[in-house]
Structure 1
Amino acid sequence: MQTVTEQSVPKVPTLPDAQTITHVKHWTERLFSFRVTRPRSLRFRSGEFVMIGLMGDNGKPLLRAYSIASPSWADELEFYSIKVPDGPLTSKLQNIEEGDEIILRPKPVGTLVLDALLPGKRLWMLATGTGIAPFASLMRDPETYDQYDEVIMMHTCRDAAELEYGKQLVESLPKDPLIGEFVGDKLRYYPTTTREETAHMGRITDNLKSGKVFKDLGLKDGMSPDTDRAMVCGSLGFNMDVKTILEDFGLREGANSEPAEYVVEKAFVG
């Protein structure tokens, strides 16, 4: 009779391109963030996204585009996600725990990168909901502050609880031992809500068109293509509305191959 040794017992294979969950935090009933191990071979620019997911019930990978919320220098990868009860992926992804595995395809792409913008003095980051994820990466990258004198993070959600992820991040950055000296007083935060009564109300589009945000921040009314640069991440409708506003200010859309005054993330989901 053949003796079964440790070497002869087949190992249970892990998922293809598998990475291990190292931390999960549920911010609200609709929002959560998580960190995973980083593939040794992965190189990315802050602001890019990758495909992540789980195995579907049919045994095939179920993948979606997710912006990497951690900066390019981080040891782990962070993601920020909405929970969709009947969503093919997020209905399962929201139940992950530390030690679980997810699929991560290490081929980063995206337009929300500093290289896609021409040099400028002021950078506007315009996001709704989980669209703040790529900016969570860029706000933690020293290069952002090397290139701009001022960085303005405009973020809009329905209520204050949904702003908490971004709020805690922004408040921590000036005191961060790694990049605090780069951030200094360059980063300005302008959160607004559309349902719950808070200090600043209204949609990003309305606050830009009315000039309220410029007045509140003590800036000259409007943006100028000579000094202002912008990055946009939200729903398709939001992206299109903001594009119109930015182009009314004279800004042109850029890309990796042809940098200009603003860029839009077209692959954002959520």
Structure 2
Amino acid sequence: MDTDLNAIVCQRIDLSDSAMIMRVIPEDGSAPDFRPGQFAVLGLPPDSPRCDNATTEQEIPDPDRLIQRSYSISSASMVKDFVEFYVSLVPHGLLTPRLFALQPGARLWFAPKPSGIFTLRNVPEDAHVLMFATSTGLAPFMSMLRTERLNHSKRKFALVHGARHSWQLPFRSELSSLQHICDNFAYLPIISRPDDEPVAWKGLTGHIQESWRDGSLDKIWDFHPVPDNTHIFLCGNPKMVDEMLEITLAEGYTKHTNRLPGTVHIERYW
């Protein structure tokens, strides 16, 4: 087993007992180059301790191999002091319970070259960008929005982020501020369980798909997004991705793949 743990946890921000922002730096002190939207592979040995909230593993890890998983990068591509990840705990999983046991200064494996095609690279510069995310599917969009010079762009950006509760919207303050600063950016947080809120929720409720059907985006942009002027990015819960893909394909959008460029870009989690 390759036990060369080549990176260090430099900061950890706990959002709850099951979600955190983890910042990692390779041991050479410089973050690798990557395109916003790409992912990196993290890993730990199977004998690494698991966090207190972990439950029984559903599978037994191979004792001779590092446990490795891919995580979307949430930091801007020009930041070289660290690489940021937004991680959600899977109590019965192999890697996240071990990641949640790490504290600043701990070491882990970091694959040296991020990869992935879930980027803005194939989006025309005059095409608007519409992003839909659930849970940690927000991570690649944070990287895109933090990297793009929104104030200097003529195209529109919109982000719809769905969660069960308002406290599961981790970058809400940053995104709300960005919306006030940039006239061409719209942020639409939507929660599915408003009755659980300690203070009355004044925003959108339901599921992400409903923000498309009820015209919430049309009202903000003053037009309905169509394939001729908009590219759509979907990231997170596979059910949301599949339903939104079906909705958009019915309106003439096409799925983007390595071989065939399209107007709907997808990244499924788990």
TM-score in terms of structure 1 length:
0.82
Report the equivalent of 1:71: 76
- 1:63, distance to aligned residue in structure 2 (A): 0.8
1:200 matched to 2:201? The reply is no
For these two proteins, the number of residue pairs brought into alignment is 245
Report the equivalent of 1:81: 87
The CA RMSD over aligned residues, in Å, is 2.3
Structure 1 residue aligned with 2:42, among 41, 49, 52? 52
Instruction: Say which is worse superposed, 46-55 or 110-119, in terms of deviation.
Output: 110-119
- 1:146, distance to aligned residue in structure 2 (A): 5.3
Report the equivalent of 1:186: 184
Q: Distance in 2 between matches of 1:110 and 1:148?
A: 26
Report the equivalent of 1:156: 162
Q: Distance in 1 between matches of 2:110 and 2:209?
A: 34
Alignment of 1:211-230 (within 5 A): 211-215=215-219, 217=220, 219-220=222-223, 222-230=224-232
> Are 1:23 and 1:36, in contact at CA under 8 Å, matched by a contact in 2?
yes
> Are 1:117 and 1:260, in contact at CA under 8 Å, matched by a contact in 2?
no
Counterpart of 2:43 in 1: which secondary structure?
strand
Instruction: Say which is worse superposed, 36-45 or 200-209, in terms of deviation.
Output: 36-45
Report the equivalent of 1:99: 105
Report the equivalent of 2:261: 259
Counterpart of 1:240 in 2: which secondary structure?
helix
Instruction: Give 2:167's aligned amino acid.
Output: A
1:16 matched to 2:4? The reply is yes
Change (3 A) 1:174 1:213: closer
Instruction: Give 1:205's aligned amino acid.
Output: Q
Structure 2 residue aligned with 1:140, among 132, 138, 146? 146
Gapped regions of structure 1 (runs ≥ 5): 1-13, 176-182
> Are 2:129 and 2:232, in contact at CA under 8 Å, matched by a contact in 1?
yes
Alignment of 1:107-118 (within 5 A): 107-118=113-124
Report the equivalent of 1:3: none
Give CA deviations for 1:54-106 in whole Å, capped at 9, x if unaligned. Answer: 11132521011100111211111000011122211111111211000111112
Instruction: Say which is worse superposed, 141-150 or 113-122, in terms of deviation.
Output: 141-150
Change (3 A) 1:256 1:120: farther
Change (3 A) 1:131 1:32: same
> Are 2:179 and 2:186, in contact at CA under 8 Å, matched by a contact in 1?
no
- 1:111, distance to aligned residue in structure 2 (A): 2.4
Instruction: Give 1:206's aligned amino acid.
Output: E
What fraction of aligned residue pairs are identical, expressed as a percent? Answer: 25
Instruction: Give 2:242's aligned amino acid.
Output: M
Return the index of the structure with the highest Cα Rg.
Answer: 1
Counterpart of 1:106 in 2: which secondary structure?
coil
Report the equivalent of 2:233: 231
- 1:213, distance to aligned residue in structure 2 (A): 3.7
> Are 1:33 and 1:80, in contact at CA under 8 Å, matched by a contact in 2?
yes
Q: Distance in 1 between matches of 2:255 and 2:102?
A: 37
Gapped regions of structure 2 (runs ≥ 5): 48-62, 196-200
Instruction: Give 1:228's aligned amino acid.
Output: T
Instruction: Give 1:253's aligned amino acid.
Output: K
Instruction: Give 1:192's aligned amino acid.
Output: I
TM-score in terms of structure 2 length:
0.82
